[in-house]
Amino acid sequence: MSKIKGAVVIDQERCKGCNLCVVACPTDSLSLSAEVNHRGYNYCVDSQPDTCVGCTSCAIVCPDACISVYRIKTDD
């Protein structure tokens, strides 16, 4: 059976660390980094990329459109 796997690409310099994507993620793949970007925000990172299912919830809720989600089909 084929399975969808996602990859989240985050524009970390544009991210304002609002945390909405972290809350929206159903698989807890995202989190905020301990480091800050050049604007001083704790940007979003894909801390558990293996769990991502490519649902695009993070990209839909991101107010600054910093998130792109790519999806691939894998055969397990």
C-beta of 64: minimal distance to other proteins in Å? 5
C-beta of 62: minimal distance to other proteins in Å? 8
Where on the chain is the footprint of other proteins (CB under 8 A)?
16-20, 23-24, 41, 57, 60-65
Nearest to 33 by CA among 43, 41, 22, 24: 43
Which two tokens mark 43? 């940007």
Cα separation, 73 vs 7, in Å, equals: 11
In the DSSP assignment, the letter for residue 40 is: S
Nearer to other proteins, 22 or 46 (CB): 22
C-beta of 70: minimal distance to other proteins in Å? 18
Nearer to other proteins, 20 or 53 (CB): 20
Residue 23 has phi, psi (to 5 degrees) of -70, -40
Nearer to other proteins, 26 or 49 (CB): 26
